[in-house]
Every structure is written in C-alpha cells, then in structure tokens.
C-alpha cells in the first residue's frame, strides 16, 4: 500500500508539472508571428515616407518581390518589367502610400500602386493594418475616349516562406533598403519644399509646367521615354517625351527651362 501510494503521489506531481508546462510548450511551438506592437511600429516608421528607388519598379498588380532577407527576386522583376514596363525608374523619388500585412508577406504600396486609378496617388494615401480597403475608382463606358490615367506607382512585396516573423520596424526597413533608399528622402523633400508653390503643386500632381528646370521635371514625371533635340526658329530645343501614342506628353526645354508642355490624349 505504501509503495502504491508513493507511485500515485509521483503520478499526480508529474501530471501537475505537465499541466504547468503545457502552455509554455504550446507557445514555443507556435510560429513567431508579427506582434501588434511591431506592426504599429512598422507603420509609424515607414508609412508616408519618401525614398529614392534603387531598382526600377514595374507597373501591374505584382510589383517587385523581395525574399525574406531582402534579396530581390531578379527573375520575377525582369518578367514583370517585360510584361508591364517600369512605372518607377532607378533614382526616382517615391513615397510609401500604403502598408498592408498579409499572413506571409508585407506589401508596400508605392505612389498609389501599379494599377490605373482615377484619383492621384497622393489623394488616396491610407494605411491598412489588417486587410485591404477598397478605393472607388469609377468605371468608364466601353466607348469612352478619355485617356487612361498614367500609372506612376508600383508595389514592393517582402515575402516570407511561412508567417511574417516578429521583426522590428528597423529590421523591416533594412530589408527593403535593397530597393528603397530612405537615406536620400530627407534631402529630396527639403528641396521640394524650397520651390515656389506652383512648382510644388505641379510635382504633387505629377505634371510638368512652363518654367520648371530638369530636376523639377524629373521629380514630377521621372525619366522620359525618349529625348529629341531640334533647332526651331534658330533656337535649340530638347523634347522629353513620355508615354506611347496616342497618349503622349511632350515637355520642351530651351536651355535649362521648360518652355512648352503639350499633352495628346
């Protein structure tokens, strides 16, 4: 009886110990998922921030994909550029306009995203901490002749093999700096804020206006698709050409300043 009672006591003690340890074991077995605190910190650090693009970013719904360590998926990037073209070029100043968290990835919307939109990207800035939030874009009738709005944005997708781990905001920023250089954004923003209001407004609207210099046009529209130099009425001019027919914008320089802007829609 004494031996049997001792065995029962040991069994009960073992059972109690197991019950105490089970929550800790279960917690350790769960994936190290992104915490609410770090999610909020990522939004605070990176939402609405400006950066310089270190890689061309494709138009389209997929954007540019990064591996978990921040390495660029070069094959996917080349394919997306071939299929949809570049909406952001290397060196362009861009803004993170939305952050979306999915189970296995973090999606950074750049300049309003890579799909056509009715509204300008700066008019629809929003941060999504959970699921996507729809933004009405309107519909055009099949016989509409209005030019489709230009695509000026893209996406940077940081993808993981499993759930998004519990990374700090700084760790996430370090991973996406392979394509977005945040160290240059302060100078760019400060420079834009020193410009006359009409030029600041044009840059925000992604438009070129008469009187701009080349840096301002680059900030507003990015690099042109083509450049053509001609002498007209004895004056040497240079056309920066954006888009493809029939939707083309000509920005004409005489010297260092814009003298004409023509949009064909």
DSSP state string for the chain: -HHHHHHHHHHHHHHHHHHHHHHHHHHHHS--BPPHHHHHHHHHHHTT-EEEESS-EE-SSS-EEE-TTS-B-HHHHHHHHHHH-EEE-TT-EEEEEEEEE-SSEEEEEETT-SS--SS-GGGS----SSS----------TT--SPPPPP--EEEEEE-SSSPB---HHHHHHHHTTTEEGGGHHHHHHHHHTS-HHHHHHHHTT---TT-BHHHHHHHH-S-SEEEEEEETTEEEEEEEEEETTEEEEEEEETTEEEEEEEE-
Q: Is residue 140 part of a domain?
A: no
91 vs 38 pLDDT, higher one: 38
Indicate whether 172 and 200 sit together in one domain.
no
Segment 39-46 shows an average pLDDT of 91
Indicate whether 158 and 74 sit together in one domain.
yes
pLDDT at 125: 45
Segment 171-191 shows an average pLDDT of 82
pLDDT at 79: 92
Q: Is residue 64 part of a domain?
A: yes
Indicate whether 181 and 203 sit together in one domain.
no
Indicate whether 177 and 210 sit together in one domain.
no
Indicate whether 151 and 238 sit together in one domain.
no
Q: Domains in the chain: how many in total?
A: 2
On the question of pLDDT at 66 being above 90, the answer is yes
Query: What domain range is 247 assigned to?
Result: 195-264
- pLDDT tens per residue across span 209-227: 999 999 899 888 877 888 9
Indicate whether 157 and 219 sit together in one domain.
no
* Residue 244 belongs to domain with CATH number: 3.30.1450.10
- pLDDT tens per residue across span 108-126: 999 888 666 544 444 444 4
């Amino acid at each position: 009886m004494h031996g049997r009672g001792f065995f029962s006591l040991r069994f009960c003690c073992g059972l109690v110990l197991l019950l105490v340890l089970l929550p800790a074991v279960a917690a350790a077995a769960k994936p190290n998922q992104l915490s609410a605190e770090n999610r909020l910190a990522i939004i605070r650090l990176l939402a609405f921030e400006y950066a310089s693009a270190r890689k061309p970013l494709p138009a389209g719904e997929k954007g540019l994909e990064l591996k978990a360590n921040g390495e660029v998926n070069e094959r996917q990037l080349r394919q997306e550029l071939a299929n949809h073209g570049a909406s952001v070029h290397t060196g362009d100043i861009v803004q993170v306009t939305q952050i979306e968290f999915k189970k296995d990835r973090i999606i950074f919307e750049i300049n309003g995203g890579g799909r056509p939109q009715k509204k300008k990207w700066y008019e629809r800035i929003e941060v999504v901490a959970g699921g996507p939030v729809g933004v009405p874009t309107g519909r055009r009738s099949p016989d509409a002749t209005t030019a489709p709005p230009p695509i000026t944005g893209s996406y940077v997708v940081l993808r993981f093999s499993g759930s998004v781990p519990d990374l700090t905001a700084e760790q996430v920023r370090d991973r996406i700096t392979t394509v977005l250089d945040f160290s240059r954004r302060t100078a760019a923003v400060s420079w834009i804020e020193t410009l006359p209001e009409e030029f600041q407004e044009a840059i925000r609207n992604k438009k070129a206006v008469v009187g701009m210099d080349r840096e301002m046009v680059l900030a507003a529209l990015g690099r042109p698709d083509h450049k053509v130099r001609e002498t007209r009425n004895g004056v040497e001019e240079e056309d920066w050409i954006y888009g493809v027919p029939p939707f083309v914008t000509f920005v004409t320089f005489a010297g260092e300043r814009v003298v004409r802007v023509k949009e064909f829609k």
